[in-house]
Structure 1
Amino acid sequence: MPFALALTIVLALLAVFQIALAFGAPIGQFAWGGAHRVLPTRLRVGSAVSIVIYTLIAVVAWSRVGVIDAIPEIVAHVAHVAMWVIFAYFALGILMNAVSRSKPERFVMVPVATVLAALSFLIAMGYGELATPI
């Protein structure tokens, strides 16, 4: 459970960051390739969509560790498989942020993506589960 909590905290902090980007904060050099100080409309929409994705990731993580039962019993293995997909998503995020042309994005987001990948890996492996591992 502590890994799901840590993942949720990091995702919540990222959500605040994405909200700021979506509302036009001049911190675009830390996201979306770092090409814009203030994001254009299409990337602001992307930031808003990111918040929804972060929420879904947190629900899957809490489901995987057995704290909430957001996924029906019939497809109980969905949370297990989904956490592996989430791990792959964050692992790819490490690479994508590492090749960014934006030095601030590389400096900040590579460590963030690494933490998210590590936490999602531990959750996918079943560490911190309340229920019997799948």
Structure 2
Amino acid sequence: MTRRPLQPPARQRPAALAAGLLAIVGAFQAALALGAPWGEAAYGGAHRGVLPPRYRAASAVASAVYGALTLITLGRGPGATARRRILSGGSALMLLGTVMNLASRSRLERTIWTPVAGTLALTLLRLARGVPTGGRRG
């Protein structure tokens, strides 16, 4: 028995790219929340080593949001209208993240996260524009 792909073949690559990058960022945020000493690569690089508790809490929330967005990117979850809006909003936030990472004082953050956020901004926008209309799930 052959399973149907979650999305048409032309949309699988952008969705896979976005989902992979979102999963990486989500895992990074989860690691920060759990105490990984990578503070220099996040939140402007102001905290070397383990982040303070409030930043760790923010990373825990961010990790959950990235996880949910990963699933939505893969076609799971809400109907088409909500999915299109969520992906568009995610794209806008990633564009803001691109600018913020580019302006970061942390060279590590600029180097790693600027291209990731920029790629996600473009890919999520492309996916949002391709969501079928008419209220169908997908």
Aligned to 2:74, what secondary structure does the other structure show? Answer: helix
* 2: CA distance, partners of 1:15 / 1:79: 19
- TM-score computed with the length of structure 2 as normaliser: 0.80
Residue by residue over 1:70-121, the C-alpha shift from the partner in whole angstroms, topping out at 9 and shown as x without a partner, is 225xxx4111122111110101110111111111111111011011112101
User: Could you say which residue in structure 1 is the equivalent of 2:105?
Assistant: 101
Q: Is the 8 A contact 1:7 1:58 kept in 2?
A: yes
Q: Is the 8 A contact 2:102 2:110 kept in 1?
A: yes
* 2: CA distance, partners of 1:113 / 1:41: 25
User: Could you say which residue in structure 1 is the equivalent of 2:13?
Assistant: 2
Which of 75, 86, 94 does residue 82 from structure 1 map onto?
Answer: 86
User: Could you say which residue in structure 1 is the equivalent of 2:122?
Assistant: 118
Which of 55, 61, 64 does residue 67 from structure 2 map onto?
Answer: 55
- Structure 2, unpaired ranges of 5+: 1-11, 134-138
User: Could you say which residue in structure 1 is the equivalent of 2:3?
Assistant: none
Q: CA shift at 1:62, angstroms?
A: 2.5
- Structure 1, unpaired ranges of 5+: none
The alignment of Structure 1 onto Structure 2 pairs a total of residues equal to 121
Matched, 1:20 2:27: no
Q: CA shift at 1:19, angstroms?
A: 2.1
Q: CA shift at 1:58, angstroms?
A: 1.7
The higher-RCO structure (CA 8 Å, 6+ apart) is 1
Give structure 1 regions of 4+ aligned residues with deviation exceeding 2 angstroms: none
Q: Is the 8 A contact 2:23 2:70 kept in 1?
A: no
Q: Pairwise CA RMSD of aligned residues?
A: 1.5
* 2: CA distance, partners of 1:53 / 1:86: 10
**Identity rate, percent:** 38
Q: Is the 8 A contact 1:84 1:124 kept in 2?
A: yes
Matched, 1:71 2:74: no
